Amino acid sequence: MSEALKEAKIAYDLGEVPIGAVVEKDGVIIGRGHNLTEQLKDPTAHAEMLALRQAARQLGGWRLLGCNLYVTAEPCAMCAGAIVWARIKKLYIGTMDPKGGACGSVFNIPQEPRLNHHVEIETGIMQQECQDILKAFFKELRKKKSEEIQL
């Protein structure tokens, strides 16, 4: 998770919502990503999507068998779907997202019994650090917005 947090920090410095993800197989990181939706002007450029894509390129196939994904914030419905399709074994989550999370909060797509692949989930990994960086980002964003209004 500390590697996923490093990715989140890169996003933070770029002015992106600071979320980071890494894909690990047999103790080796084979994919990493940080949120780039603003830079790439792409609503699908979430940290998890970018990390999954890199891992699939690395392995030469879309089935990420035996791979685990670490992400600083609970994945959304799109990413949760991609995690299932990629056949991720276990998902490690930093902080939950009660407003948009699809891995236990709003939905629980990776453990939906009607789907034929299920992903193990462990939450609360370095929860405080993962939450702090998001809080700091949104606090700064609100400050910037209120300053703009004053101008």
Q: Put the strands of the sheet holding 20-25 in their side by side order.
A: 28-34, 20-25, 67-73, 90-95, 120-122
- Minimal distance, residue 31 CB to Zn ion, in Å: 15
* CA–CA gap between residue 15 and residue 38 (Å, rounded): 8
- Minimal distance, residue 146 CB to Zn ion, in Å: 28
Which residues inside 39-58 make contact with Zn ion, applying CB under 5 A? 46
Tell me whether residue 138 or residue 143 sits nearer to Zn ion (CB atom). 138
Which residues inside 67-106 make contact with Zn ion, applying CB under 5 A? 76, 79
- Which residues, including other chains, have CB under 8 Å from residue 116's CB and lie 6 or more apart? none
Tell me whether residue 37 or residue 58 sits nearer to Zn ion (CB atom). 37
Quick check: 23 binds Zn ion (CB under 5 A)? no
Pick the closest to residue 36 from 23, 55, 50, 22 (CA basis).
50
What is the H or E stretch that residue 29 is in? strand 28-34
103 is in an annotated binding site: no
3-state secondary structure of 25: strand
Q: Would you say 57 and 50 are in contact if contact means Cβ atoms under 8 Å apart?
A: no
- Minimal distance, residue 100 CB to Zn ion, in Å: 8
Task: Check 7, 16, 24, 48 and give the catalytic one.
Answer: 48
Asked if 38 is an active-site residue, the reply is no
| Catalytically active residues, by annotation | 48
| Binding residue ranges for Zn(2+) | 46, 76, 79
Per CB under 5 A, residues contacting Zn ion are 46, 76, 79
